[in-house]
Amino acid sequence: MNTWLAATLHASPSRHDALLVEHLPRLLETLPDGVDRWFFSRGTDTLDLRFRPVSRSLRLHLLLWGMDVLDDGSARRMTLEAHRDDFRGLGGPATAEAATELFHADSNAVLTQLRLAHAGVLTIPPARLAALAAADLTRTWYGGRAEAGAAGPPQQMALLAPWWKRRAEVARVYSRVVAWLDPALVPPVLAHVLRQHRLRLASVQPAPERVTAQQA
């Protein structure tokens, strides 16, 4: 079941956080019954959302939500299309379920992080959080124990712990699937996973991405 409904919002990168923090939660809270998975990523000037399974009710729901987003000027344009991934770089079609489960868990974790930061509750610098998350993903990918609070303020990291724990659980499953298919794919697939994580945190910006990778 690799067909997804892809909603692409064309918007300035300066609007991406507002779209995620102010608009996306309202959409997620009212999704039609049956939607079992979603995730997001950012492009240079796009915010890309994926949902499954594709249905008429989901299309209508996204269209209505998109009209509100366009009406208040948060995005210039929105496109909807059925999208089928080939999962190149992610281990191939056999890893589809595990890969998208991780994307779903990571999207929830990042969205929670952004909302807490927007509310002023989470004050850890974004670059520091990105490095901590990359280290946690890498550790669990290779079978280590998840440490959501490691090297971070305990009270603030505790706010993220449930989402980081879930992400660690599915990352571990995904890495095992990849290792079973081809052990040589484990490092490059992790590199792709970490890049996707960075693209949830921020839009495509080559220099900052290199800094984050070095910190991780």
Q: What is the pLDDT of residue 153?
A: 78
Beta pairing, strands 37-42 & 77-84: unpaired
CATH 3.30.70.100 for domain 3-84, yes or no, is yes
212: nearest Cα among 127, 136, 153, 141 = 127
Q: How far apart are CA 155 and CA 149, in angstroms?
A: 9
Q: Is the pLDDT of residue 194 over 70?
A: yes
Domain residue extents for the chain: 3-84, 93-201
Task: Give the DSSP H/E element, type plus range, for residue 210.
Answer: helix 206-215
Query: Mean pLDDT across the stretch 6-34?
Result: 95
Total-model pTM = 0.90
Average pLDDT of the residues of the chain:
89
The arithmetic mean of pLDDT across residues 25-39, rounded, is 95
Q: Of 25, 202, 200, 47, give the one whose Cα is nearest residue 115.
A: 25
pLDDT at 216: 36
Interatomic CA distance for residues 141 and 48, integer angstroms:
25
| Gap between the Cα atoms of 6 and 136, Å rounded | 29
**Mean pLDDT calculated for residue range 94-122:** 96
Q: If pLDDT is split at 50, 70 and 90, which confidence band does 213 have?
A: very low
The secondary structure of 119-159, three-state, reads CCCCCCCHHHHHHHHHHHHHHHHCCCCCCCCCCCCHHHHHH
Cβ–Cβ < 8 Å for 134, 171: no
Write down the pLDDT at residue 208: 45
Q: Quote the tokens at residue 178.
A: 């990849």
Mean pLDDT on 146-167: 81
pLDDT in the model for residue 144: 77
Report whether pLDDT(187) > 90.
Answer: yes
pLDDT tens digit string along 34-87?
999 999 999 999 999 999 999 999 999 999 999 999 999 999 999 999 988 778
**Per-residue pLDDT averaged across 185-205, rounded?**
90
The pLDDT score that the predictor gives to residue 182 is: 96
Q: How confident is the model at residue 152 (pLDDT cuts 50, 70, 90)?
A: low
